[in-house]
C-alpha cells in the first residue's frame, strides 16, 4: 500500500510544485500577462514538437502502436462529446456558454498534465504508446472544438480551415517527424539528439510553470454553476466512467496509465484560447482551465492511487 502511495505521489507532486512556482513567479511580478502568453506560444511552437518527436524517435512501433488503445481513446472522446451536447443543451439556455461547457468537459490537457504524469510513472523514453495516442487524440480534440464552437455561435464550420489547422499543428508535425525516423530507421547526429532532448525536457517544466503563472481568478458569480458542472464532469464523471470501462476491457500497464493521462487530466489550456477567439464564453472557459488544473493535482493522485491498488499498472 505504501509503495503504491509513493508511486502516485511522485507522479503528481512534481506537476503541482511546478505550478506553484509559476504562481509565485506571477505573484512576484517577474512576468507580465503578455510575457506569459508569448512564452506559452513559444513552448507550443518550439518545445512541444520536440517532446512529441523524442517520445516516438527510436521507438519500437510494433509496441508503440496499440490499435485497441487508440480505438478506445477515440471512442471515449466521441462518446463524452456526444453525451455532453444534449445534457448541456438541457441545462444551459445560452448558446454562447454551451460551446464552452461542452469543450471544457471533453477536452483534456493531455500534453501538459497527462504526458508528464505518464513519464513520471514509467520514465522518459518509455511512453511511446502515450505519444502515439496523443498524435491521434489531439487532432480530434481540435476538429471537435472548431465544429462545436462554430455551431453554437450560429456559424458553419469551414472544412478547409479545420484541415489546415490540424496538419499545421506543431505537435502533429513533431509526431510526423518522429514517425518518419521510426519508419526509415535514420538516426540524427548525436548533438542534434541532445538538443532535441534538452528542449523536450524544457517543454514539461516550462509549460507547467507558465500554467501556474496563468492563474487569474476571474469573477465567479455569473458562471459558478456551470463551472462546477464542467469541473465535476472533467475530473470526476469522465474518468470515473471510462477508466472503469478501460479496466473492464483489460487495459493494463502503460496503456492504462496513458488513458488515465488522457481521461483524468484537467481542461486543456487551448480551450480558453479557442473559446475567446470563436465568440464563445471565454470567462467560463478560462475559469474551467484554472480550477480544473488546480483541483486535478488531487484528483489525478486519487485516480492513480485507486487503480494502482487495483493492479491496473
With 0-12 / 13-18 / 19 or more C-beta atoms within 10 angstroms meaning exposed / middle / buried, residue 295 is middle
The residues near 235 (Cβ < 8 Å, ≥ 6 apart) are 264, 266, 292, 295, 296, 299
Task: Please name which of 125, 134, 123, 108 lies closest in space to residue 239, comparing C-alpha atoms.
Answer: 108
pLDDT tens per residue, range 194-217: 999 999 888 878 888 988 888 776
In whole angstroms, give the CA distance from residue 304 to residue 264. 9
- Cα distances (Å, whole numbers) of residue 133 to 140, 234, 247: 11, 19, 17
In this model, does residue 219 exceed pLDDT 70?
no
- Who's near 215: CB < 8 A, 6+ residues apart? 19, 22, 23, 26, 290, 293, 294
Coil, strand or helix at 108: strand
CA dihedral 260, 263, 267, 268 (to 10 degrees): 80
| DSSP bridge partners of 267 | 108
Composition of the chain by helix, strand, coil, percent to 5: 80, 0, 20
Residue 8 has pLDDT above 70, yes or no: yes
Considering the chain, what is the average pLDDT of its residues?
Answer: 89
d(CA 293, CA 18): 12
Residue 267 DSSP one-character state: B
| 280 and 152 Cβ atoms separated by less than 8 Å | yes
CA diameter of the chain: 57
Q: Which of 17-26, 61-70, 129-138, 233-242 has the highest mean pLDDT?
A: 233-242
Which pTM was predicted?
0.84
Of 161-165, 190-194, 221-225, the range with the highest mean pLDDT is: 190-194
pLDDT tens column, 22-55:
989 989 999 998 898 888 889 888 998 898 898 8
The percent of residues above 70 in pLDDT, for the chain, comes to 99
Residue 77, C-beta contacts closer than 8 angstroms, at least 6 positions apart: 106, 137, 140, 141, 144
Amino acid at each position: 500500500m505504501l509503495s503504491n502511495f509513493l508511486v502516485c505521489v511522485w507522479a503528481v507532486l512534481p506537476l503541482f510544485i511546478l505550478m506553484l512556482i509559476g504562481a509565485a513567479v506571477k505573484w512576484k511580478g517577474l512576468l507580465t500577462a503578455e510575457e506569459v502568453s508569448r512564452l506559452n506560444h513559444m513552448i507550443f511552437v518550439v518545445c512541444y514538437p520536440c517532446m512529441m518527436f523524442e517520445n516516438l524517435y527510436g521507438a519500437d512501433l510494433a509496441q508503440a502502436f496499440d490499435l485497441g488503445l487508440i480505438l478506445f481513446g477515440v471512442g471515449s472522446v466521441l462518446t463524452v462529446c456526444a453525451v455532453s451536447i444534449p445534457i448541456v443543451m438541457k441545462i444551459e439556455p445560452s448558446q454562447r456558454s454551451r460551446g464552452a461547457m461542452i469543450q471544457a468537459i471533453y477536452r483534456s490537457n493531455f500534453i501538459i498534465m497527462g504526458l508528464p504524469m505518464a513519464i513520471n510513472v514509467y520514465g522518459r523514453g518509455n511512453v511511446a504508446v502515450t505519444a502515439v495516442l496523443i498524435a491521434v487524440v489531439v487532432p480530434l480534440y481540435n476538429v471537435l472544438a472548431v465544429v462545436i464552437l462554430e455551431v453554437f455561435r450560429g456559424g458553419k464550420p469551414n472544412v478547409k480551415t479545420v484541415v489546415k489547422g490540424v496538419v499545421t499543428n506543431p505537435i502533429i508535425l513533431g509526431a510526423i517527424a518522429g514517425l518518419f525516423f521510426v519508419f526509415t530507421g535514420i538516426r540524427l547526429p548525436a548533438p542534434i539528439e541532445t538538443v532535441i532532448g534538452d528542449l523536450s525536457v524544457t517543454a514539461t517544466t516550462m509549460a507547467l510553470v507558465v500554467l501556474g503563472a496563468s492563474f487569474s481568478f476571474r469573477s465567479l458569480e455569473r458562471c459558478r454553476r456551470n463551472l462546477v458542472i464542467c469541473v465535476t464532469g472533467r475530473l470526476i464523471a469522465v474518468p470515473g466512467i471510462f477508466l472503469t470501462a478501460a479496466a473492464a476491457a483489460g487495459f493494463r500497464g502503460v496503456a492504462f496509465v496513458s488513458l488515465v493521462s488522457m481521461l483524468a487530466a484537467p481542461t486543456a489550456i487551448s480551450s480558453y484560447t479557442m473559446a475567446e477567439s470563436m465568440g464563445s464564453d471565454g470567462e467560463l472557459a478560462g475559469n474551467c482551465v484554472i480550477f480544473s488544473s488546480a483541483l486535478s493535482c488531487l484528483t489525478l493522485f486519487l485516480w492513480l492511487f485507486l487503480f494502482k491498488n487495483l493492479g491496473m499498472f
